[in-house]
Structure 1
């Protein structure tokens, strides 16, 4: 762990971040492949998946956000040399994560029929959406364990191990998708339920892989039964970071739901395009998040060790790396927008609408790097509140009013323009917030 304070910053970020970038790229590929297979069933199936996504993303976001709290607290205590409290943070995090998984299984399955009826009265879309969620949310505990282990392994610098586990789950998922959806070999044809089951099995494989690695090649932080009883001070610290991080990650769900309402007034085609965009953009933002995941424990460790100048250097270097990833995404969306949308549909009108959307939204990719890096750095510093402010600007305070107003002036295209306008405004504010917060 000492090399976190001494090794060359760029080399260290790449060592910590690249395994996560690879994992995120494969995860992005899974998201796209999963959607491609569902889209092969029908546009209604893809529309159902798009409408389910906000709730699915909300539940995942809350679990990931709590994992970020575990990551930040464990990293801080390791940097401060307090191994016992690091063990307590990990152990109580595992217990609370299990509780979260059980609660979200019940909530997710219960609210979905009501939620879907807010956006459509098409009986086929409603049926497909409910079928998917009833299976997918049954694996919420497995997802929770996967994320708790992931963030703990990352906190101690075991990025390669984390990559291996994540890849195992994603590869299993990708392989099972066509088998279970279309009934290849001895498997029954399950349709959209097969896509959900493949996802759940992939999450379970990932969690099991972490458990095996923890037993075979233990990490420096230990999960101990006697430490799992929640303690007020530790819970307060975990949730002080975890709740803002969860809200930050959950806000896109609110955004997508709000934009679906605006776009549905024009045509279901635009709802479809928005759903496809959010699948495609994971291929950018998840790899960028890989850099952030590598950065976060480095910042937490060095902040705990009192290395404030090194914290700033880690932030600047990470910002450049994230910007390079987003620049590549900008090029793709400007050069191949029709081809990207065409992966999901052969409808000429839908492809045309999607081509316009990607080119407009892509204007904001590079500048969004500032918000992405700043938010992750603030979480590493344990400053969840300021990070939440940045996310609130990106996903609620600016973009929703802008999308509503612009759509009334220039139609559905106004929603797409709201994306880059929001990223520009938020980049300026987020940089200011980071500079102020790190000096306190």
Structure 2
């Protein structure tokens, strides 16, 4: 392994920056897909924007499955790399990709045939449900072209290289930005597809991702083992990946599921509040990019160092990450206090939608340090092979705090503002609990670092 990819040596903050820096651009690229769809669909009308807001929790939940599988692959591969077991790392990488393809194909088929039922549960009906169906039919057909490359990119990052996976993600995003308005509004011989055009643009962009990701993992990194494994070896690899991947996927899905539940709660305040909440959460997803980059960086860093027996470096990485999350949340709070309204008006001009989104963005962002602490800590524990702790960390925020607080607030407050304050309180309390637990656990388990895969 080259010195630049060896995450077990050198200043911790510098290694985190080496991973998180490129990932910021890659995550911006991924999130821009949602923002581009929101921007152009918002130009079609409030009903179309409301329909897209309903899809956001579901699309994020399915995407979380990919992130979870990627976390599982990254966890086992990075620990194998950290313990200098290159052949094993290659076998695990290959088996992870095969597993991802099988699982996402099943999810795509199930999702395609359950659109009406699923979104009916969320409260969508009438013309809005029809718009959702038209969008999601294409989206479910496209999702395999995103999930498998996410896992492939996670494997490459596990080797210590975050730059080229980010290049692939940026290329895909630029493609999406260029072609989505063509399919939404039409151009020349291309007809205007409306809301379906946003899904078509996403499909084409993800095809770019497939090509780039496989060139990286197969050709540049040579992490594909073309030999046919024994059934026992394959089952062992899948068990190890799923041992991390399933809890990680559930944990990652908890945030969009929480948003879905809160969307249903907010539906009681009217469709314009739902639309405003959808716009605000998309803007929020872009604003937390440094935290998301850290949560991506902490995985390969923690995996390699844990595999090399260096628990102290994992603990130091968490402390650095918590500090960054705190500073960034203060920056966000001040920024949105001044700039929330002009930013929201980029996506919608309807007064009530703007009001709901601006209210959210002036209340919640200051508390996002707690959300950052949750995702960074969960990412670290997933990489250590302790994904049950990672899942528990997510559940503390969503199941124990975020959803109950939002529901209770909806009962006692006549306006949606009360729900937004409840969300902020849930974020802050979760952050305090998670940071205390993580640092204590690492101090108490220093002697367990260095175990070979499986952990």
Q: Is residue 2:280 matched to residue 1:243?
A: no
**Correspondence for 1:78:** 81
Q: Is residue 2:354 matched to residue 1:351?
A: yes
**Correspondence for 2:226:** 224
- TM-score (normalizing by structure 2): 0.92
**Correspondence for 2:36:** 33
**Correspondence for 2:452:** none
Return the offset for 1:139: 1.5
- In structure 2, how many angstroms separate the alpha carbons of the residues matched to 1:243 and 1:155? 18
**Correspondence for 2:147:** 144
| Structure 1 unaligned residues grouped into runs of 5+ | none
- In structure 2, how many angstroms separate the alpha carbons of the residues matched to 1:348 and 1:36? 16
- Counterpart selection for 1:427 from 425, 431, 434: 431
Q: Is residue 2:119 matched to residue 1:113?
A: no
| Contact kept? 1:322, 1:373, Cα under 8 Å | no
| Aligned partner of residue 52 in structure 1, secondary structure | helix
- Paired residues in the alignment total 439
**Correspondence for 1:207:** 210
- In structure 2, how many angstroms separate the alpha carbons of the residues matched to 1:294 and 1:353? 34
User: In the superposition, relative to structure 1, how do residues 121 and 239 fare at CA in structure 2: closer, same or farther (>3 Å)?
Assistant: closer
| Contact kept? 2:39, 2:346, Cα under 8 Å | yes
User: In the superposition, relative to structure 1, how do residues 367 and 257 fare at CA in structure 2: closer, same or farther (>3 Å)?
Assistant: closer
- In structure 2, how many angstroms separate the alpha carbons of the residues matched to 1:26 and 1:140? 17
| Aligned partner of residue 43 in structure 2, secondary structure | helix
- In structure 2, how many angstroms separate the alpha carbons of the residues matched to 1:130 and 1:309? 50
| Aligned partner of residue 210 in structure 1, secondary structure | helix
Q: Is residue 2:252 matched to residue 1:274?
A: no
- In structure 2, how many angstroms separate the alpha carbons of the residues matched to 1:78 and 1:91? 14
| Contact kept? 1:180, 1:198, Cα under 8 Å | yes
Return the offset for 1:220: 5.3
Return the offset for 1:368: 3.0
- Counterpart selection for 1:362 from 356, 362, 365: 365
| Contact kept? 2:155, 2:217, Cα under 8 Å | no
- In structure 1, how many angstroms separate the alpha carbons of the residues matched to 2:431 and 2:165? 30
Q: Map residues 41-80 of structure 1 onto 2, 5 A cutoff.
A: 41-80=44-83
Return the offset for 1:61: 0.6
- In structure 1, how many angstroms separate the alpha carbons of the residues matched to 2:308 and 2:144? 34
| Aligned partner of residue 222 in structure 1, secondary structure | coil
Q: Map residues 299-314 of structure 1 onto 2, 5 A cutoff.
A: 299-314=302-317
User: In the superposition, relative to structure 1, how do residues 294 and 119 fare at CA in structure 2: closer, same or farther (>3 Å)?
Assistant: closer
- In structure 2, how many angstroms separate the alpha carbons of the residues matched to 1:221 and 1:227? 15
Return the offset for 1:391: 0.7
Of 251-260 and 148-157, deviating more is 251-260
| Contact kept? 2:75, 2:385, Cα under 8 Å | yes
Task: Say what the alpha-carbon RMSD is for the aligned residues.
Answer: 1.8
- In structure 2, how many angstroms separate the alpha carbons of the residues matched to 1:121 and 1:253? 17
| Contact kept? 1:334, 1:362, Cα under 8 Å | no
| Contact kept? 1:101, 1:143, Cα under 8 Å | no
- In structure 2, how many angstroms separate the alpha carbons of the residues matched to 1:355 and 1:58? 25
- Counterpart selection for 1:414 from 401, 418, 422: 418
| Aligned partner of residue 256 in structure 2, secondary structure | helix
Residues 363-404 of structure 1, C-alpha deviations (whole Å, 9 max, x = no match): 312343322322222122221111111111222221111111
| Contact kept? 2:243, 2:387, Cα under 8 Å | yes
- Counterpart selection for 1:378 from 356, 381, 398: 381
- In structure 2, how many angstroms separate the alpha carbons of the residues matched to 1:294 and 1:363? 23
- TM-score (normalizing by structure 1): 0.95
Residues 28-81 of structure 1, C-alpha deviations (whole Å, 9 max, x = no match): 333212210011011111111111222211111111101110001100011111
| Aligned partner of residue 231 in structure 1, secondary structure | helix
- In structure 1, how many angstroms separate the alpha carbons of the residues matched to 2:409 and 2:264? 14
| Contact kept? 1:263, 1:270, Cα under 8 Å | yes
- In structure 1, how many angstroms separate the alpha carbons of the residues matched to 2:256 and 2:31? 18
**Correspondence for 1:20:** 23
Return the offset for 1:205: 0.5
Return the offset for 1:416: 0.3
| Contact kept? 2:104, 2:143, Cα under 8 Å | yes
- In structure 1, how many angstroms separate the alpha carbons of the residues matched to 2:240 and 2:111? 27
Return the offset for 1:271: 1.0
| Contact kept? 1:4, 1:12, Cα under 8 Å | yes
Return the offset for 1:322: 3.4
| Aligned partner of residue 336 in structure 1, secondary structure | helix
